[in-house]
């Protein structure tokens, strides 16, 4: 590995929470071929590989990262002419849209609404990229990206080939997919719908020594056990094809959003109005990116310029300041909502939120609110470990851990541990971090 370069960014330059060490090698491929070549070369040489989306779902240690960080610079969005999806013929009221993995997610949502398409408007304002959206199965306000995905094109690092995965192949679950599971030791292998002959498998193809079977991928508390592909999946997203409705109206699927629009759950509203309401609700919680991050040297050009100007203006109007909004310097929701067995849920206080759910194996379960548990364990908005701490809970939302300026990854880790231990002691529930955590003993 080449020595650290002073011209390379640190993870603190590239992530929404603004922490993390120096990167040895940073690459931004601008073509499909260059992307695949970069991935193949990293695995061939045994380099640690981190494929970065928007940097919003990632917490990296303060230590230098002696590996390759790849940020896909391909951001094309195209409407497809074909009328057949992986689920069968495409109906007249639907349309296929393909976006390259590096496309900024909110740029994609904005573009779809401008084209008169519905299906992703409730996901407005979520940080990240199109590629990362399907790894995480992002969701908010009554929508999940999984419901709009038709096909995902991936690079399979184990078999050294391109594959296409249908929605069924992706095995989407709550904030998880087959791609995310492929970072875990013993994760089951998805069965891609088809492979691409355009990228031949050479006889010298790298075949990492990793067992891929049906073994479990987490311990009894839900803590992940990562395999050699980590901190990136075995399957790297190249592009995503979405199946969206030709409709300028969407359906309100979440109570808080319906209230903001003075409507009822199930009502139909213009998608542009739904998007505006989602952005307003997220802004009030500090659950948007700080738009000023895209003015920094290593972030310029990542977001559509007109969308950036609108975001900066809206942020200034919301905060009353032209400066940073530290409540937005976070990984978003830091802990996943716990999915408990019915017996475990029965030990919670009667007033604790409970929602019907299924666990990763499809068994009946109960989902509760991580934010409620945190707050009722005594960790209120703005909580920090000690006075003058540079990391704290958001002043607007207990589920976001924030960098108040000058924090290091170790400071965020200390705060996360305090919250985990407090909730465990009060309710007997282990909170699992939602971001990918690299180089820190936090799970």
- The residues annotated as belonging to the active site are 175, 333, 434
Contacts of residue 87, defined as CB under 8 A and 6 or more positions apart, other chains included, come to: 150, 166, 167, 243
Roughly what angle, to the nearest 10 degrees, separates helices 305-319 and 271-285? 50
Question: Under a CB-based contact definition with an 8 Å cutoff, are residues 253 and 265 in contact?
Answer: yes
Whole-number CA gyration radius for the chain = 21
Contacts of residue 88, defined as CB under 8 A and 6 or more positions apart, other chains included, come to: none
Burial class (CB in 10 A: 0-12, 13-18, 19+), 202: exposed
Number of H-type helices and E-type strands within the chain: 12, 23
Phi, psi of 12 (to 5 degrees): -65, -25
CA 258, CA 334: separation in Å to the nearest integer?
Answer: 25
The tokens of 160 are what?
């050294």
Q: Which parts of 56-207 fold into alpha helices (H)?
A: 105-114, 130-136, 167-170, 178-181
CA 88, CA 17: separation in Å to the nearest integer?
Answer: 41
CA 416, CA 391: separation in Å to the nearest integer?
Answer: 10
Which of 119, 118, 122, 123 lies closest to 133 in space, CA to CA? 123
């Amino acid at each position: 590995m080449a020595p650290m370069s002073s011209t390379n960014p640190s993870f603190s330059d590239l992530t929404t929470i603004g922490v993390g060490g120096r990167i040895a090698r940073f690459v931004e491929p601008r073509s499909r071929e260059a992307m695949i070549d970069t991935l193949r070369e990293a695995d061939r040489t045994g380099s640690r590989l981190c494929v970065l989306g928007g940097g919003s779902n990632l917490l990296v240690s303060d230590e230098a990262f002696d590996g390759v960080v790849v940020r896909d610079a391909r951001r094309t969005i195209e409407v497809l002419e074909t009328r057949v999806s992986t689920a069968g013929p495409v109906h007249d009221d639907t349309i296929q849209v393909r976006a390259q993995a590096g496309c900024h997610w909110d740029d994609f949502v904005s573009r779809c609404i401008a084209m008169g398409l519905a299906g992703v408007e409730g996901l407005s304002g979520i940080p990240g990229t199109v590629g990362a959206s399907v790894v995480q199965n992002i969701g908010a306000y009554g929508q999940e990206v999984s419901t709009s995905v038709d096909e995902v094109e991936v690079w399979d690092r184990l078999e050294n080939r391109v594959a296409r995965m249908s929605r069924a192949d992706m095995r989407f679950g709550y904030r998880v997919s087959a791609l995310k599971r492929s970072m875990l030791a013993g994760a089951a292998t998805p069965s891609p719908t088809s492979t691409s002959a355009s990228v031949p498998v050479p006889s010298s193809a790298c075949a990492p020594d990793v067992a891929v079977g049906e073994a479990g991928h987490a311990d009894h508390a839900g803590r992940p056990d990562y395999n050699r592909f980590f901190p990136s999946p075995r399957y790297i997203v190249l592009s995503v094809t979405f199946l969206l409705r030709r409709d300028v109206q969407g359906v309100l699927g979440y109570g808080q959003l319906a209230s903001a629009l003075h409507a009822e759950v199930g009502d139909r509203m213009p998608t542009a109005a739904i998007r505006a309401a989602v952005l307003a609700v997220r802004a009030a919680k500090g659950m948007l990116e700080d738009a000023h991050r895209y003015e920094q040297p290593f972030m310029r050009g990542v977001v559509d310029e007109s969308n950036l100007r609108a975001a900066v203006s809206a942020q200034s109007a919301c905060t009353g300041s032209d400066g940073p909004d530290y409540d937005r310097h976070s990984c978003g929701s830091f802990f996943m909502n716990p999915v408990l067995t019915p017996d475990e849920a029965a030990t919670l206080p009667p007033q604790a939120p409970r929602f019907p759910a299924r666990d990763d194996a499809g068994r009946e379960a109960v989902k509760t609110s991580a934010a409620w548990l945190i707050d009722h364990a005594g960790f209120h908005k703005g909580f920090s470990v000690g006075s003058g701490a540079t990391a704290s809970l958001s002043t607007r939302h207990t589920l976001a851990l924030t960098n108040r300026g000058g924090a290091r990854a170790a400071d965020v880790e200390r705060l996360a541990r305090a919250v985990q231990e407090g909730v465990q002691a009060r309710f007997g529930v282990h909170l699992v971090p939602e971001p990918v955590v690299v180089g820190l003993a936090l799970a």
